[in-house]
Amino acid sequence: MKTLELLESLHLKQIYGHLPECVNSIHQDSREVTNNSLFICISGHKQDGHDYYHDAINNGANIIVAEKQLEIDFNKSAFILVPDTKRAMAQLINKFHNYPSSQMTLFGVTGTNGKTTVTTLIQKLLQRCGIKSALAGTNGFQVDNKKYYTENTTSDVLTNQALLALSRDQHVRKVVMEVSSHGLAQGRLWGIDYDIAVFTNLSQDHLDYHQTMEAYGYVKGLLFAQLGNDMSKSKYAILNQDDPWSETYKMATSAEVITYGLHKNADFRAFAINYTINETTFTLEYPDPEGRVTIAINLLGEFNVYNTLAALAALYADGNDIKTMIHFLPEISNITGRMEKLVVNAPITMYVDYAHTPDAVEKCIKTVAPFKQKRIILVVGTGGERDREKRPLMAKKASHADVVILTVNDPRTEASDRIIRDMEKGMLHDDYLLISDRKQAIEQAIRISEPGDTIIFAGKGQENYQIIGETKHPHNDALIATEFANSKFQRNTD
């Protein structure tokens, strides 16, 4: 892109040195810089990009954007001083890609739990209707059947805009994105013009980062405020009527509000819910003269009724025919790693789940309670170097299971023993074991199980690694559990 055209997007700027005619790419990581590119210095949590401008120039950058004066050899690179490099980065990259989000319909889903499930439901239903769509979140960025790895649930500004541009160029019409509180707090979504913003729920998590629930809740509200104030555009906030934070988000937005829930007069309401081991059925009421229908979904538990309502309400806001969406719902088998039933040749029932918050742990136990035959055995962990306060709360909720095995998810550089001892403080009964090695914890749960028992492996979901130290080691709950259960019960029948 022509440099002068690109720089029109920045108003407060001081330019030093000779600008190249064109900019080929924009980077915030000196290690990724290529020839004829622009490097922006970002002060991060751990490091300061201003310390890496020499590396960037050596790698081919010929424009450096910074928020403090730097000593630059103008024979090698031009220099642009701006008041705030993060904001400048959002302006520049949006202009560079010609504002891709305004050329598609954008869904943003935020909340402590349920983001992956709701975004996946929306995207799968759009796909079933033949609408080309993309999905961004914990499992990377997906367009058609192609997956791009992304570091974060909500990517940084540069990655987001690049992937949105790629989607637009591949004629994607709708993009469905998970929006994390970290992403909102760090401005990773600046410049994304959302059309439909969805709130799932808010419960304790990430207090290592946000410090208080008030700060955490407030940050989530930014998504709704960022829908803007332009009434000529159709924008919608989809809010969970049963979560008190929805009142705050209603205040944050001037967009039209569509509510969902079980308990109050929500626009999308579920009642007469029936939980079985294979499916959940409920009656749905929605804003239509004929808007009352009984639905069966393959997803288990009350929380998935909420997730389904959220997805349907969002699709309704987008103008899709709800009858068609309901028709396709039974085709969605499950969401990988979320209350996923494992297929085993054994007289026990096993689920892998991604519950890694106290609320999610409570919900996954509650999910199997209506159809359990004998005991519920729960293997549950938390991660190292993350929210220490939630550890005992996880164990407290885990105590609703008959037998609990406390273990770790990703210890990172923290001692596993300390993590499980922190959790142990919250246990409300004595029927528990501490096994820091996650593989051994899974195997022990199966070893002590008896016919009729239900085991839930919570915390890692579909992930196929465990972060120990700073290295990702291969690990897969489902694989370990299936192999071990098949061999244990095979031996028993031999």
Ligand X SMILES: Nc1ncnc2c1ncn2[C@@H]1O[C@H](COP(=O)(O)OP(=O)(O)OP(=O)(O)O)[C@@H](O)[C@H]1O
Binding site for ligand UAG (CB under 6 A): 28-31, 42, 44-47, 49, 52, 151-154, 156, 180, 182-183, 188
Q: Give 107 or 354: the residue with its C-beta nearer to ligand X.
A: 354
Measured in whole angstroms, how far is the alpha carbon of residue 244 from the centre of its chain?
A: 21
- Tell the smallest beta-carbon distance from residue 319 to ligand UAG (Å): 29
Tell me the C-alpha distance between 112 and 335, whole Å. 17
Torsion of CA 355, 357, 362, 366, to 10 degrees: -30
- Residue for token pair 């946000």: 210
Q: What is the DSSP letter of 2?
A: B
Q: Any binding-site annotation on 31?
A: no
Q: Which of ligand UAG, ligand X, none binds 359 (CB below 5-8 Å, type-dependent)? A: ligand X
Which one of ligand UAG, ligand X, none is in contact with 459 (Cβ closer than 5 to 8 A by kind)? Answer: none
Which of 47/98 has CB closer to ligand UAG?
47
Q: How many Cβ atoms are within 10 Å of 148's Cβ, its own excluded?
A: 15
Q: Following DSSP, what letter does each residue of 34-97 receive, concatenated?
A: -TTEEEE--B-SS-BGGGGHHHHHHTTEEEEEESS-----TTT-EEEE-S-HHHHHHHHHHHHT
Q: Residue 282: how many CB atoms within 10 A of its CB?
A: 21
Say if residues 404 and 392 touch (Cβ distance below 8 Å).
no
Smallest gap from Cβ 153 to ligand UAG, in A, equals 4
Residue 76 labelled as part of a binding site: no
Q: Rounded to the nearest whole angstrom, what is the least distance from the CB of residue 66 to ligand UAG in the complex?
A: 12
193: nearest Cα among 98, 122, 260 = 98
The contact set with ligand X (CB under 6 A) reads: 113-117, 138, 153, 178, 200-201, 303, 306-307, 338, 353-355, 359-360, 363-364, 461
Closest separation between CB of residue 198 and ligand UAG, Å?
A: 15
Strands 78-81 and 280-285: unpaired
| 177/395 with CB nearer ligand UAG | 177
324 is in an annotated binding site: no
| Binding-site partner at residue 410 among ligand X, ligand UAG, none, CB < 5 to 8 Å by type | none
114 makes contact, choosing from ligand UAG, ligand X, none, with CB < 5 to 8 Å by partner type, with ligand X
> In terms of CB distance, is 155 or 167 closer to ligand UAG?
155
| 186 annotated binding-site participant | yes
CA distance 10 to 178: 28
217 binds, among ligand UAG, ligand X, none (CB under 5 to 8 A by kind): none
The residue whose Cβ lies closest to ligand UAG is 44
At its nearest, how many Å lie between ligand UAG and the CB of residue 188?
6
Name 379's Cβ contacts closer than 8 Å, sequence gap at least 6.
405, 407, 441, 442, 445, 455, 456, 457, 458, 459
Q: Which is nearer to ligand X, 115 or 124 (CB)?
A: 115
CB of 433 to ligand UAG, least distance (A): 27
- Rounded least distance, CB 14 to ligand X, Å: 40
Residue 325's binding partner out of ligand X, ligand UAG, none, with CB under 5 to 8 Å set by partner kind: none
Q: Which is nearer to ligand X, 63 or 441 (CB)?
A: 441
| Pair of tokens at residue 269 | 């309401």
**What strands, in cross-sheet order, belong to the sheet with 349-353?**
340-341, 349-353, 454-458, 376-382, 403-408, 432-434
Nearest-approach distance from CB 405 to ligand UAG, in angstroms: 23
Select 178 or 453, whichever has its Cβ closest to ligand UAG.
178
Asked if residue 37 lies in contact with residue 62, where contact means CB atoms within 8 angstroms, the answer is: yes
67 vs 477 by CB, closer to ligand X: 477
CA distance 193 to 105: 9
> Which of ligand UAG, ligand X, none has residue 440 at its interface (CB below 5 to 8 Å by kind)?
none
Least Cβ distance, residue 374 to ligand UAG (angstroms): 33
Q: Which two tokens stand for residue 433?
A: 């074991």
- Please, which residues have CB within 8 angstroms of residue 29's CB and are 6 or more apart in sequence? 49
* Rounded Cα–Cα distance for residues 95 and 100 (Å): 9
Q: Identify which of residues 189 and 355 has a Cβ nearer to ligand X in the complex.
A: 355
From ligand X, ligand UAG, none, interface partner of 116 (C-beta below 5 to 8 A by class): ligand X
**Is 112 known to sit in a ligand binding site?**
yes
Residues in the chain: 494
**Numbered residues of the known binding site for ATP:** 111-117
**Numbered residues of the known binding site:** 30, 111-117, 152-154, 180, 186, 188
